[in-house]
Structure 1
C-alpha cells in the first residue's frame, strides 16, 4: 500500500486518503458529508473521487434520489478496502504498553553465578511483588549469549561481557573492584590487616569461571605474584562454606565478596594486589531496544542495581 503516491498514471496504488474517501462515500452516500468528515472542500473531494474512479476503472458511486449509491464493483471492494484501512491503523498505532501487573510471560537473563547470589534474589522479590504472572529464567553467559539476545531467546545479559559488539546496547549498572575473603576466625589474619606478604604466604581457593577471572590472572602475572592454590572451583557456589571452614583465601569481585560476608562467618579485606576494576553492565540487542517488555525489564534492573550517583544513558556498540 502506497501511503503517499497521488500520481494518476493508471498504475499507482491507492493512497490512504482515497481509501478513506471510498469508505466514507459508502457509509454516508454523500460527497458533501464525506468532504466535511475529511476536512476538505467539496470540489477537492470531487477531484479525489474522479481519481479513484480512474484508478479502479469503475464509477463506484452513482447519484440517485437516495444519494450516492454504490455500484456492484464498489460493493465488491468495500470489505478489502476497510480491511486495508484497519491494517494501516494498526501499523500506525503506538506499541502496546507493557503492563507488568497483568503480564504472563518469561524473561530470560544471561548472568554469572555470582549474580545468582548478588542480584537475582532482589530482582525476583521485586518481580513477584509487581508482576506476579512473570517468570524469570537465569541462563549462563557464554559464547552463545550474543545469538540468544539477537534471536530473542534471551532478553538481557548482565555482567562483564566484552565480546558483545556491533548491534548491542549496553548500560553501566555499577563498578567492581577486588577484595579478599577470609574466615572470620582465621588463625593468622585478623585485626592487623591483610598485606601482600600475607597474600603470598597463605593458601588460596581459586575461582576459574566467570568473565572477570582473566583480569585477576593478568594482574597477578604483571605483579609476579604466584598464589598457592589448594582448591579450584568453577564458580561461587559453595565458596562461602569453604572459606568459612578453612584458612583459605578467596580473591573475588567486591559485590559477591561483601554479599557472602553478610553471613557473619567471613571477613572482607582490600585486595593487596592492584587488580584493574571493571563495570557490570546490562546488555541487549538493538532489535529489542524499543520493545515495551524489554524496556520494562531494563528499567527495573536500572532502578534496582544502578548506582544512584551516575546513571549514564545506554550506549550502542558499533564496529570500529
Structure 2
C-alpha cells in the first residue's frame, strides 16, 4: 500500500461501520472516503466492506487484514507522536467510549466542560456494546475506552479506578415511605423497578432483591437507567440505583433518596483500555485526563 492515508480510511470504516461516519470522524467528504474505499478494494481485489442493513460490515478478508493494518497504523502514529509529541490543545481527534446512559449522564458533562478549556479539538462519541463486542472493539481500535462497572472484562485489558460506589433506595417525593425509616420489611413488601443488563456487575443487585423476598415484587425491568425516574415519579415503585446517579437525577426530578436496607457491597467504577494502546501517547493523555476529572479529590 503506497498511500498511507488509505490506512486511516480503513480504520475509520472498520471502527464506524459507515462511510458517512468515517467521513465525519476523518473530517472528509463522503465522496472522498468512498473514493479511498474504491482504491482499497482495487488494492486487495475484494469488496472489504459490504452493506448489511444500515452498516458496512467487513468481509472475511477485511477481518483478516484488520489486525495487521491497524498495527501498522498504530506504529505510524507512534512515530509521528514521538517526533511531534501529542499536543491536546491543537489535537483534532475523536475518542470513542463504551459506556451506558449512567456514564453519559454522570461522567460526560464534566469531561466535556474541561475539554472545552484545554483541548477544544477533541470530540467524544459514546457507544454501548455487549461484553464480547466491547473486548473485540477495544482490541480492534473501534473503542478507545470502556467506562463502568465491568468485572467480566477479560485479560489483556488495563484499567484504572475512577471511584467506588454504593446503591441507594430512590422513590418519589410524597411517597408513603418518604418520611419513614426504610426497613428491610418495608422494602421487601414494596414494588420495585429494576435496571438490568447481563454481563455487568449489577447482577448482584437482582440477587439481593430476590434474597430479600422481592422476586415477585419487581414490577418492571428496564435495560437503561434514564427511563427509570419517569416511572418512579408517577408511581410508588422503589428503585435501587447507584448513589452518584440518584444524586445527579435528584437535581432534576422530585426524588427522595434513602439508605438501601440490603447487605450489598460497594462496587468500583473503572476506565478500561486494551494493551495494544497502552503506550499510545494520545490514549495515555486522554485516560489520565478522564481520571483527573472524575476521580474524587
One fold, TM greater than 0.5?
yes
TM-fit CA distance, 1:245:
2.1
Structure 2 counterparts to residues 40-55 of structure 1, below 5 A: none
TM-score (norm 1): 0.63
Larger Rg: 1
Distance 1:169 1:248, change over 3 A: same
1:307 aligns with 2:296: yes
**Alignment partner, residue 282 of structure 1:** 271
TM-score (norm 2): 0.68
User: Runs of 5+ in structure 1 lacking a partner?
Assistant: 1-89, 309-320
1:125 aligns with 2:120: no
User: Runs of 5+ in structure 2 lacking a partner?
Assistant: 1-77
Task: Identify the match of residue 261 of structure 2 among 250, 266, 272.
Answer: 272
**What is the alpha-carbon distance in structure 1 between the residues aligned to residue 105 and residue 214 of structure 2?**
29
The structure with the largest helix share of the pair is 2
Distance 1:92 1:252, change over 3 A: closer
Task: Identify the match of residue 166 of structure 1 among 155, 158, 171.
Answer: 155
| Residues 150 and 201 in structure 2, CA contact (< 8 A), matched pair in contact too | no
Structure 2 counterparts to residues 152-301 of structure 1, below 5 A: 152-186=141-175, 188-209=176-197, 211-226=200-215, 228-301=217-290
Q: Which of 299-308 and 91-100 deviates more?
A: 91-100
Render the CA deviation track for 1:231-261: whole Å, top value 9, x for unaligned.
Answer: 2221112222221222111111111111111
**Alignment partner, residue 10 of structure 2:** none
Render the CA deviation track for 1:209-243: whole Å, top value 9, x for unaligned.
Answer: 37233111222344444351222221112222221
**Alignment partner, residue 87 of structure 2:** 99
Q: Which of 206-215 and 251-260 deviates more?
A: 206-215
Distance 1:95 1:111, change over 3 A: farther
Aligned-residue RMSD, C-alpha: 2.1
Distance 1:283 1:91, change over 3 A: closer
